[in-house]
Structure 1
Amino acid sequence: MMDAELPYSAWLMALLSLPGMGPARLAQVLEQSDAVDAWQKLLRGTPLKLDRVPRETVEKWRSAARAFDVKTRWSAAAALGMSMSEIGGSGYPDRLIDDIEPPTALFHMGHPVPVGPTVAIVGTRRCTSYGRRVAFELGAALSAAGVSIVSGLALGIDAAAHQGALSVAGALPVAVVGSGLDVVYPRRNQKLWERLGTEGTILSEAPPGAPPEAWRFPARNRIIAGLADFVLVVESHAAGGSLLTVDEAQLRDVPVGAIPGPITSAASAGSNQLLVDGAIPVVGADDIMIAIGHSPTPPKAADGTEATTSVISTPGSDLLEQMGWQPLLFEQICLLTSADPSLVATQIEQLVQAGFCTRSGAFVERVR
């Protein structure tokens, strides 16, 4: 028997909870019948005419449906503070309604999806300290200027961009994740996930309890691109996953920019190639603000005072600027600066003590 008290969204959630039920398969199921009718067919064993779905997959759906308590799972999601919106319904992002591949439904935690300008900041999980710093600073500067930062809450560039956005009193950040909203992934981002769930917005096409299966992340990337006025790649390896977001942006005529990186850095191989291929070069927040048709404004710190993204005045600051963001040997730093080695040694020690540089064996690397 079907529970007449449950909303239609509960049955959509149930369908999305079936193993391997991605956006394309759900669309095929709903072409034949609505969610309630489709669920009844699964429970009754009524044949489903799905040309592109293997018969064994449908049998797995039947088994899973018989073991799935829709009412209990719907109540549990509500108890966790999750809501669900169907395409065109209340809470569904307006930007996605006319998308070339809109999600049938989205799960949501936190604040309503912002309606102002948005920029997606994406990049590699295996980023350099340079990339992490740039993503943080741009996330802060753009958020303070009223631009919502959209990203995937992954390690590396995504996390740094979200952290930068949360460090200022600005536009609400948006995270689009590839698992259920109650399945934190990666676990190392637990605290950031919690902050975004209260100070920003977290969206997912995956139902509660859904694991972070590999196929969910390319599907997630289309949502990131669909929500953005501009997609920025901070760092990407030659075959980085962020390039999939670029592909989705180009399908939607969303402009793409990239941060120039050292030609010797593998972490910038993909993003540098984007620049070769015609992406917009970005060296600061102003470049993005101009690209999306907005005037840049001075960034604000969390207390409302003007923030700065430049290196603070400290002994050795000139040397710090000359070092750049790649690990260097002491001899290389001396050659770069043409300064007396004893002075260089003293300034390096001051920068390490102040937290601007770290040592790793014989190498010195700028981290702030």
Structure 2
Amino acid sequence: MKTDFKKVRAWLKLLQAPEIGKARAINLAKTLGEPYTFIEENANRLDDIDNLSDSARNFLRSDDFNYNWLEIEKLMQKFDIKFISILDDSYPIPLKNIFDPPPFLFYRGKLPPNGFHRSIAIVGTRKASDYGKLQARKIARQLSEAGFMVISGLAYGIDSMAHWGCLEAGRANTYAIMGTGCDQVYPPRNRKLAEKIMENGAIISEYIPGHKAERWNFPERNRIISGLSLGCLVVEGSKKSGALLTAPL
């Protein structure tokens, strides 16, 4: 699938506009269509939007752009990063129904052609016991053998074992939801695992290419792990673990 860069740029610009957050951006797109149609192709349509502030309207008409667009485009081309918006047919249907759905996703690899209809999240602590790692790998392998996709976060410990277990079975694909841009693999030592995942599955992120790992990114991405899954299995986790925050989402 060839990336339409004007589509990517328009979504990013819309989210930078004053007083327009993710929820309003999604509502505008659902009403008016892809943002490039009313930002770049026919900016006069901005006059028809109710309750749009002058500052937002002027920003969307301007050449201002708060990101380094050339760097984003370069990274997307270098790492073959694809883009889908919430308006695309390939956008995961389960994500549309969660609280705070991402307006778009970046990914490397392949999304499931029939959607995330049979997927289970397996998450847990990075500091897992040997027994916990063994069980995560075993359960993921059994789920894959039964035809379930496995969703996790590529972290050390339980996440990594879940991905490896699914890959070992080879019956279903596994998908890693990132807390960084898709141009990066975090943690870096899981680069080999990420490459194996992308052979038939994908690494997926709501963050723009170039976005570095920040502590708050990982709890935020947990809603996507949960939203893509029929259920969430926490193998091991402390009382303050991010894994325990994922399960109730």
TM-score class normalised by the smaller sequence: 0.7 to 0.9
8 A Cα contact 1:88 1:97, kept in partner: no
Q: 1:126-157 CA distances to partner (integer Å, 9 max, x unpaired)? A: 10000000000111111111000011111100
| Unmatched tracts of structure 1, length 5 or more | 50-57, 249-368
Check the 8 A contact 2:154/2:177 in 1, yes or no: yes
| SS of equivalent residue, structure 1 residue 247 | coil
CA gap of 1:14–1:140, structure 2 versus 1, over 3 A, is: farther
TM-score for both structures, normalised by structure 1: 0.54
Shift of 1:124: 0.4
Any conservation in 2 of the 1:15–1:26 contact (CA below 8 Å)? Answer: no
Change (3 A) 1:48 1:195: same
Match of 1:53 in 2: none
Sort the Cα spacing of 1:90 and 1:81 in 2 relative to 1 into closer, same or farther, 3 A.
farther
Per-residue CA deviation, residues 197-236 of structure 1 (Å, 9 max, x unaligned), is 2232211111111111122112211111111111101001
Give the aligned residue type for 1:65: F
Q: How far, CA to CA, are the matches of 2:222 and 2:242 in structure 1?
A: 9
SS at match of 1:65: coil
Match of 1:27 in 2: 23
Q: How many residues align?
A: 223
Q: How far 1:30 moved relative to its partner?
A: 6.2
Offset of residue 27 of structure 1: 3.1
Structure 1 pair 236/35, CA: closer, same or farther in 2 (3 Å)? same
Partner of residue 232, structure 1? 233
Larger RCO of the pair (alpha carbons < 8 Å, separation 6+): 2
Q: Is the CA contact (8 Å cut-off) linking 1:29 and 1:38 kept in structure 2?
A: no
Instruction: Say whether the 8 Å CA contact 1:116–1:146 is kept in structure 2.
Output: no
Where does structure 2 lack aligned partners over 5 or more consecutive residues? 47-53
Deviation digits for residues 268-318 of structure 1, max 9, x if unmatched? xxxxxxxxxxxxxxxxxxxxxxxxxxxxxxxxxxxxxxxxxxxxxxxxxxx
Larger radius of gyration: 1
* Cα root mean square deviation, aligned: 3.1
| AA of the residue aligned to 2:23 | A
Query: Taking structure 1 as reference, are residues 119 and 69 closer, same or farther at Cα in structure 2, changes over 3 Å only?
Result: closer
Q: Is the 8 A contact 2:26 2:86 kept in 1?
A: no
The offset of 1:14, in angstroms, is 5.4
The amino acid of 1:165's aligned partner reads C
Match of 2:73, as an amino acid?
Answer: W
Query: Sequence identity, in percent?
Result: 33
1:92-121 C-alpha deviation (Å, 9 max, x unpaired): 112212333221001111112344411100
Q: What's the secondary structure of 2:209's corresponding residue?
A: coil
Q: Separation in 2 of the partners of 1:148 and 1:30?
A: 28
Distance 2:215 2:177 in 1: 15
Amino acid at match of 1:88: L
Q: How does 1:257-272 map to 2 (within 5 A)?
A: none
- CA–CA separation in structure 2 for the residues paired with 1:152 and 1:142: 17
When residues 123 and 47 of structure 1 are mapped into structure 2, their CA distance, relative to the original with a 3 A threshold, is same
Q: Normalising by the residue count of structure 2, what TM-score does the alignment of the two structures yield? A: 0.77
How far apart are the structure 2 equivalents of 1:66 and 1:155?
A: 33
**Letter paired with 2:94:** R
Matched, 1:246 2:242: no
Q: Which amino acid aligns with 1:87?
A: I
Whether the 8 Å CA contact 2:143–2:149 is kept in 1: the answer is: yes
